[in-house]
Amino acid sequence: MILGQYVVITGHGGPKNALYFIFDTESRSFSNAFIGTHLVWQYDDLSTAAYVDGSNILSIDGRTLAELDLAENEYVYGLSYSQDGTVLTATIVSSEETERIVRLTLP
């Protein structure tokens, strides 16, 4: 996927993770690489990107946005921004197929 001067490349890091590589077309180099899931961003602005790493939601620059309290049988099923970009929503499911929602109000 192309976002302005960046190309986001996704690969598989195992059955439960993805590998994300961020290529900067201006410097012609990889500017970031990380393992996680559910990489999302607002509009075409990669600086707003967030992703899940285990029970943490992180920003593209590695800041922890939230530490989720997941039960042993739970995992993050999805991550999405609200229309206005002020709320990041994590959908959490369990092996018993229960679902709960955690909403993060962003600064």
Tens digits of per-residue pLDDT, 44-67?
899 999 999 999 999 999 999 999
For the sheet with 99-105, list strands across it: 74-81, 87-94, 99-105
End-to-end CA distance of the chain: 27
Average pLDDT over residues 78-102: 95
Q: What mean pLDDT is reported for the chain?
A: 93
pTM of the predicted model as reported, rounded to 2 decimal places = 0.90
